[in-house]
Structure 1
């Protein structure tokens, strides 16, 4: 069967220490700012991006890696391994990006050299990352490609994500607000708790009046879904570390947490959500 290597993209917002620990390979998406193209997380840090965002009059454009870039990465991983391997390539929701399509085309192109399984996470930011890390743990324990893929598909169904934005402007302008679009007018007067549906699209989970009540709505939803079941918790934030820490502590207060991660939202996801966004992702730990 050979070993399993894990690939994801930069929108998974996985902290560097976890990438290194579990040997996860990341392919960057791109951000276009004032005729300059940057690679998410490579030559554009979250801090630098949000500083640029504050000075822009328009919303940044983003783009997925090309099939050729994926091909090159898959081949490099195979060559570096020096042995028979399989690649599990896990990416941002296809409802938000063409990244999956590029990965699928590349997997077909290199199938004679290396076996690549492409998975649509139907998630974004660390909701992708938390799934990737769990898959990487299995691979590190020696699980084969079928075992990793099976567990990943199970975890996709059991992983929840809720997030709060300071403004719906970026989601609206980028067309990423999905089925929530009809409610923009009413939501602007509230603090919407947003989530992702089974198709990987943004939708309004519930409206709340103010941040404190919005966090309470998230706590109630998480406690109802997971109860005392052991879980992993991940919170990502867009230049809002204090709010991110508060959301993490709120989730830990009602859940049986086996591990928790606080990470930064990078430039691609940040282009669609804006500064101040906080998101919590939860997946079972058993």
Structure 2
């Protein structure tokens, strides 16, 4: 019998309790405040501690992905601990935003003689990765085979929506992750940008709204148009903005055919690039 094992990275912002419940292995990225001050995302630095440090920092922190060796070591550990044939699905942060996917791909090629590793570019970030990972991890626990998992990943990559609001574009700009949203710089003036991720996994401007309330309304209206009465699962991630997150979540739950919700915090790596105050919502069709 073949076992399917799900691996992701810390930018998926999956709550620790959910990762443990669904047997998801999470490899951490790193946040660097200086050459001598580096932390493993989600392990050595919680979201709360990160945003406190960010406020006090004299310069913008940087981030770095796991090395191919880190991935190779992890894949070998999973293989060695398994008592049955194991297929690994390793689902990661958009390759347009990080070298994590490339590092995982290199590692998979190093172990391909003995371990079957499928590396997936999610083309997404934060819990828009996590909502996909959690979905297929449930299937894996239920005993789904490799083909069923791959088929479901394909559906989710096609049909999962993500929209997010940032307090400022400063963090995306300074960290070089702004993508096609560069055109918004200097043109906001009391406008609240609604951003999304393109099919290629790059940040782009979806819409501008005058104020947060109208931005939330626009996101909810767009999701209603997309999913109509279709049963959906909802994820919401926030960067020290729990009240705004609750408002968005309640609006969506009231107007979509909601089957489940997960609320989580944006961790240190994604937080470095989007900044405090960010709220992201992701919606995916519930498996029939």
TM-score normalised by the chain length of structure 1: 0.98
Residue of structure 2 equivalent to 1:60: 61
Whether the 8 Å contact between 2:5 and 2:140 is mirrored in structure 1 is yes
Residue of structure 2 equivalent to 1:220: 221
Residue of structure 2 equivalent to 1:270: 271
Residue of structure 1 equivalent to 2:262: 261
Q: CA deviation at 1:187?
A: 2.7
Residue of structure 1 equivalent to 2:28: 28
1:166 aligns with 2:188: no
RMSD: 0.9
CA deviations on 1:8-27 (whole Å, 9 max, x unpaired) are 00000001121111100000
Residue of structure 2 equivalent to 1:202: 203
Q: CA deviation at 1:113?
A: 2.0
> Could you say if the C-alpha distance between residues 85 and 194 of structure 1 is closer, same or farther in structure 2, counting changes exceeding 3 Å?
same
> Could you say if the C-alpha distance between residues 175 and 188 of structure 1 is closer, same or farther in structure 2, counting changes exceeding 3 Å?
farther
Distance in structure 2 (CA, Å) of the matches to 1:7 and 1:249: 31
Distance in structure 2 (CA, Å) of the matches to 1:102 and 1:173: 24
Whether the 8 Å contact between 1:5 and 1:86 is mirrored in structure 2 is yes
TM-score normalised by the chain length of structure 2: 0.97
CA deviations on 1:147-191 (whole Å, 9 max, x unpaired) are 211210111110000101111100011111101102211135410
Counterpart mapping for 1:103-122 below 5 A: 103-122=104-123
Whether the 8 Å contact between 1:219 and 1:250 is mirrored in structure 2 is yes
Residue of structure 2 equivalent to 1:3: 3
Q: CA deviation at 1:137?
A: 1.1
Residue of structure 1 equivalent to 2:284: 283
Counterpart mapping for 1:16-95 below 5 A: 16-35=16-35, 36-95=37-96
CA deviations on 1:211-244 (whole Å, 9 max, x unpaired) are 0000000011100000010000000011111111
Q: CA deviation at 1:34?
A: 2.6
Whether the 8 Å contact between 1:75 and 1:113 is mirrored in structure 2 is no
Distance in structure 2 (CA, Å) of the matches to 1:170 and 1:3: 41
CA deviations on 1:35-62 (whole Å, 9 max, x unpaired) are 3111000101101100010011321100
CA deviations on 1:125-148 (whole Å, 9 max, x unpaired) are 000000000110111121112221
Distance in structure 2 (CA, Å) of the matches to 1:224 and 1:55: 42
Distance in structure 2 (CA, Å) of the matches to 1:189 and 1:173: 21
5+ residue gaps in structure 2?
Answer: none
Distance in structure 2 (CA, Å) of the matches to 1:236 and 1:197: 19
Residue of structure 1 equivalent to 2:149: 148
Number of aligned residue pairs: give it. Answer: 286
Distance in structure 1 (CA, Å) of the matches to 2:52 and 2:68: 31
Whether the 8 Å contact between 1:168 and 1:188 is mirrored in structure 2 is no
Distance in structure 2 (CA, Å) of the matches to 1:189 and 1:237: 21
Distance in structure 1 (CA, Å) of the matches to 2:183 and 2:249: 30
Q: CA deviation at 1:76?
A: 0.5
Whether the 8 Å contact between 2:190 and 2:211 is mirrored in structure 1 is no
Distance in structure 2 (CA, Å) of the matches to 1:187 and 1:146: 46
- Where in structure 1 do 4 or more consecutive aligned residues deviate above 2 Å? none
- Which secondary structure does the structure 1 equivalent of 2:185 belong to? helix
CA deviations on 1:257-278 (whole Å, 9 max, x unpaired) are 1100100100000000011111
- Which secondary structure does the structure 2 equivalent of 1:187 belong to? coil
